[in-house]
């Protein structure tokens, strides 16, 4: 679709996404309050900030720190397409558990793997997927896209952190039918969202969202064998539609819910 569009998520108000296709997205030099991450998909442009100029084209990633005055001047608006993600600094500080983040401006060409990862991140953030999945993916992928300067690499899995992990596990087992967010887990453990995800990946090999989904799929297997309808199970587990539930179920079980239920 030609033009400029903005996307917001009521459950995730700390981010905003802009898409631009063959259109003037901003004609004046300007700055954003948010951290801005842009992926050029088509065309070329001159990107200017703080008196420096760079040429960017397809597969270029541009990272613009908050309050940095900048301007993009495409060579042709008839052949120009990009996506931009805006993230509030307040969310970043809470998510990564750091009071001062040193954003470093970036303009770089992504390799094929990074392009795929970045496009997938935009796809997830623009989808109807649960907030915990969106936040988990954003926190997981951001350090690979954005140079925060010194991002503390906490690898101290001490007794307190092991207990925090077990407390999180307990909470997930007792509440997996409820709407659970990373904020819930961060509150009960006292850990940052970033460290919580690292802790889960280190100790059990999956993110908190992956662990939660596993619990929900195992529950689905039990109730499907008791003749509960697939539609009701999907709704009870918080999937936004039956297709989403079926695809997720198959990823974990290897077959569709309908086929699994018929096996009995």
In three-state form (DSSP H/G/I as H, E/B as E, the rest C), the secondary structure along 87-111 is ECHHHHHHHHCCCCCCCCCEEEECC
Q: What is the CATH number of the domain that holds 58?
A: 2.60.120.280
CA distances from 55 to 25, 145, 219, 244 (A): 17, 19, 52, 40
What pLDDT score was predicted for residue 31?
87
Statement to judge: residues 169 and 67 lie in one domain: no
Shared domain check, 131 and 16: yes
Helix (H, G, I), strand (E, B) or coil at 85: strand
Are 163 and 243 in the same domain? no
Within this chain, do residues 42 and 136 fall inside the same structural domain, yes or no? yes
Count of CA atoms in the C-beta half-sphere (13 A) of 82? 27
Per-residue pLDDT, 263: 81
Q: What is the pLDDT of residue 24?
A: 66
Residues 6 or more apart from 218 whose CB is under 8 A from it?
Answer: none
Distances, alpha carbon 101 to alpha carbons 11, 143, 150, 219, 259, in Å: 24, 12, 8, 41, 49
Tens-digit pLDDT profile for the chain (264 aa)? 668 899 999 999 999 999 999 876 666 788 889 999 999 999 999 888 878 888 999 999 999 989 888 888 888 878 889 999 999 999 998 888 776 667 778 889 999 999 999 999 999 999 999 999 999 999 999 988 887 655 554 545 566 688 999 999 999 999 999 999 999 999 999 999 988 998 998 888 899 999 999 999 999 999 999 989 999 999 999 998 899 999 999 999 999 999 998 886
Domain that holds residue 187: 159-205
User: pTM of the predicted model, to two decimals?
Assistant: 0.85
- Same-domain status, 124 and 95: yes
Identify which of 71, 41, 69 has the alpha carbon closest to the alpha carbon of residue 54. Answer: 71
Residue 112 to residues 27, 43, 122, 126, 166: CA-CA distances in angstroms?
31, 18, 16, 21, 38
**Do residue 105 and residue 190 come from a single domain?**
no
Over its C-alpha atoms, the chain yields an Rg (Å, rounded) of: 21
Q: How is residue 100 written in tokens?
A: 């001062």
In a domain, 185, yes or no: yes
Residue that is last in its domain, among 102, 123, 145: 145
Tally the domains of the chain.
Answer: 3
Find the CATH number of the domain harbouring 222: 1.10.10.60
Query: 248 vs 40, 159, 169, 176, 259, CA distance in Å?
Result: 31, 34, 21, 16, 14
CA–CA distance, 43 with 30 (Å, rounded to integer): 21
Alpha helices in the chain (DSSP H): 89-96, 112-125, 131-145, 159-175, 182-189, 193-204, 208-224, 230-236, 242-253, 257-262
State whether 89 and 45 are in the same domain.
yes
**35 alpha carbon, distance to own chain's centre:** 15
Q: Say whether both 42 and 123 belong to one domain.
A: yes
Q: How far apart are CA 17 and CA 39, in angstroms?
A: 11
Adjacent-strand bridge partners of 72: 47
Q: Is there a single domain that holds both residue 198 and residue 236? A: no
Predicted local confidence at residue 99, as pLDDT: 66
CA distances from 249 to 19, 124, 254 (A): 32, 18, 8
Class of residue 244 by CB neighbours under 10 A (exposed 0-12, middle 13-18, buried 19+): middle
Residue 150: inside a domain, yes or no?
Answer: no
39 plus 128 within the same structural domain: yes
The verdict on 123 and 236 lying in the same domain is no
Query: Phi/psi at 195 (nearest 5 deg)?
Result: -70, -35
């Amino acid at each position: 679709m030609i033009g400029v569009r903005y996307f917001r998520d009521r459950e995730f108000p700390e981010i905003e996404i802009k898409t631009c296709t063959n259109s003037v997205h901003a004609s004046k030099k300007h700055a954003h309050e948010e951290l801005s991450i842009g992926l050029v998909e088509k065309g070329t442009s001159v990107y200017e900030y703080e008196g420096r100029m760079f040429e960017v084209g397809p597969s270029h990633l541009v990272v613009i720190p908050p309050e940095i005055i900048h301007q993009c001047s495409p060579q042709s608006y008839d052949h120009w397409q990009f996506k931009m993600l805006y993230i509030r600094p307040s969310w970043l500080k809470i998510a990564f558990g750091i009071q001062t983040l040193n954003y470093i401006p970036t303009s770089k060409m992504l390799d094929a793997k990074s392009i795929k990862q970045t496009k997938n991140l935009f796809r997830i953030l623009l989808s109807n997927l649960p907030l915990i999945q969106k936040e988990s993916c954003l926190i997981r992928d951001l350090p690979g896209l954005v140079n925060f300067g010194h991002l503390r690499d906490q690898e101290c899995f001490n007794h307190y952190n092991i207990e925090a992990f077990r407390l999180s596990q307990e909470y997930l087992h007792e509440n997996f039918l409820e709407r659970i967010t990373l904020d819930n887990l961060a509150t009960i453990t006292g850990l940052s969202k970033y460290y919580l995800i690292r802790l889960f990946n280190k100790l059990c090999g999956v993110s908190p969202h992956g662990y939660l989904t596993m619990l929900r799929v195992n529950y689905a297997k039990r109730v499907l064998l008791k003749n509960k309808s697939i539609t009701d199970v999907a709704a009870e587990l918080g999937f936004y539609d039956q297709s989403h539930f079926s695809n997720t179920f198959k990823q974990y079980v290897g077959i569709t819910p309908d086929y699994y239920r018929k096996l009995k």
